[in-house]
Structure 1
Amino acid sequence: MKAMKKTILMMVLGLLANAGTPVERLVPVKNIFSPEGFDSNDNVEVIVEGHLPNLCHKTPMKTVSINGNSIDIKVTALHYHDSNPFCPQVIVPFLETVSLGVLDKGDYKITVNGKTIFEKEGSLSINESTSDAVDEHVYARVNYIEKTEGSRIVKLKGYNPSDCFVLDKIEVINNGKDVYSILPQMKQVRPDCPMEMLEFEYEVEVPNDLKSDRVLLHVRAMEGKSVNTIFNN
């Protein structure tokens, strides 16, 4: 009897050990969003939408390989064994920003999780820059997009680093498919810029030019960053 109990205990401990050791797995991908307006001096981004199949999957990760005009992206997550008692069957959506760095002018083919059942393909166009500076414009330091159900008005919220920068204009462009790029451009009104964090809130009306039911709002922000959210069109 003692030997049987010991055997059962060892089996349980083995299962728990396996349940607690994660492995990296590819995850399902739904969309690749390619914003318009990147030049050959910008830090280029694409946004990948997908989901984690259950709570056994943690921490979406991405790796990028660029060969000529082909961009290969792998999106994975740490997967704990399904015997883990802390893995409810709940689908967890994600929206991951993938940085591609500075790219030459041209058209690019994007493949996410290629040669698997999760494969998705997309495309990206990069324009020729008119300046050597990264980001020809200074954008507001947006860190949040506030949406209201049933309204096409969204609020861009964040903090600007000094009162010497004021909002010049907000430009909205689209990629003709499923992305509105919102560009809150700032202008410097005096040369001296003392550091002073100033809260702001800018309202923008989302156009109704794209036919897709769900679109990405891609807001360019200060220091080559962006804030992204899905908008029911």
Structure 2
Amino acid sequence: MKNLMKMIVIAMVGGLALGAYAPVKKMVPVSHIYSPDGFDSNDNVEVIVEGFLPNLCYRSPMSEVEVKGDKIDIKISALSSEKENPYCPEMVVPFLEKIDVGVMDKGLYDIYVNGKSIYELQGKIKVNESVSDAIDEEVYANVEYIERVRGSRNVLLKGHNPSDCFVLEKVEFYDNDKDVYSVLPKMKQISDFCPMKMIPFEYEVEVPNKLKQDKLLLHVRVMDGQSVNSLYNNK
């Protein structure tokens, strides 16, 4: 009996010790909300939030989203191990978090990020009415990352397409009149025979010079209703 009680006490103390050092989820600073233009009521609506981790004891930024009527409530947090490490290196780590809001009805929505906290930000996003009930029927290039061409306004859209029966038709740019260019690399089908074959590509495009903010977001639509996002120095 004494041995059993001893084992229980040891297990409880061990559990408390582990719990004391477990990372905790904490809200983190956010600096900007990017609201891409061009979403319809059959699109997967996305909001992109820029922020930073206060020091190297924070990791793995994550988001939670809730839609109530015309309000989008977003919480951005990260795992913090500050309690177990009082000497956290003071290095700010920037991040860009893509939030999948989902398919939404047409309308103008208010965005609240980390509401009712010292980090609260507010914004808006517009969803247009779709002309079709089908999910976005456009086929976009499977862009994986964006690379700036040094000394120019050009960027390289790089990735792999799943077949050689599609080729790039055109790249369209839309903007939100503020700080986001939505980039649509539209593909066209040139053959009915589409064998699965990973085809690398690199498309060079020039970023328009319409928006005047020093820092912009390039929001590139890709396959399966997703996107790739990158900040762009517009100076």
Residues 1:197 and 2:198 are matched in the alignment: yes
Query: Could you say which residue in structure 2 is the equivalent of 1:81?
Result: 82
Q: Whole-Å Cα distance in 2 between the matches of residues 192 and 132 of structure 1?
A: 28
2:117 aligned counterpart, secondary structure: coil
Task: Give percent identity, aligned residues only.
Answer: 60
**Structure 2 residue aligned with 1:32:** 33
Larger mean CA deviation between 118-127 and 17-26 belongs to 17-26
Structure 1: unaligned runs, 5 residues or longer: 1-12
Aligned to 1:157: 158
Look up the match of 1:177: 178
- The whole-number CA distance in structure 2 between the counterparts of 1:108 and 1:224 is 20
Per-residue CA distance 1:104-158 (angstroms, 9 max, x = gap): 0110000000011100001000111112222231100000101134420000000
Amino acid at match of 2:108: D
Equivalence for 1:4: none
Measured in 1, the distance between the counterparts of 2:152 and 2:82 equals: 43
Shift of 1:68: 0.7
Query: Is the CA contact (8 Å cut-off) linking 1:40 and 1:102 kept in structure 2?
Result: yes
Q: Does the CA-based 8 Å contact 1:181-1:219 persist in structure 2?
A: yes
Judge conservation of contact 1:29–1:49 (CA < 8 Å) in 2. Answer: yes
Distance 1:99 1:150 in 2: 34
**CA deviation string 1:151-182 (max 9, x = no partner):** 20000000111111111110011000000011
List aligned pairs for 1:36-185, cutoff 5 A.
Answer: 36-82=37-83, 84=85, 87-185=88-186
Counterparts of 1:218 and 1:149, CA distance in 2 = 20
The alpha-carbon deviation at position 85 of structure 1 amounts to: 6.3
Distance 1:82 1:215 in 2: 36
In the alignment, the residues of structure 2 paired with residue 83 and residue 149 of structure 1 have an alpha-carbon distance, to the nearest angstrom, of 43
Q: Aligned letter for 2:212?
A: K
Change (3 A) 1:17 1:150: farther
SS class of match (2:91): coil
Give the match's secondary structure for 2:78: strand
Deviation of residue 63 (structure 1)? 0.3
Work out whether residues 21 and 83 of structure 2, in 8 Å CA contact, stay in contact via their aligned partners in 1.
no
**Counterpart secondary structure, 1:223:** helix
Count of matched residue pairs: 219
Q: Which residue does the alignment assign to 1:207?
A: 208
Give unmatched runs, 5+ long, in structure 2.
1-13
CA distance in 2 between counterparts of 1:140 and 1:89 reads 40
Taking the aligned partners of 2:87 and 2:190, their CA distance within structure 1 comes to 55
**AA of the residue aligned to 1:138:** V
AA in 1 matched with 2:119: F
Output the amino acid matched with 1:62. S
The alignment partner of 1:163 has SS state of coil
TM-score normalized by the length of structure 2: 0.89
Contact 1:216–1:231 (CA under 8 A) maintained in structure 2: yes
Confirm or deny: 8 A CA contact 2:21 2:84 kept in the other structure: no
TM-score normalised by length of structure 1 = 0.90
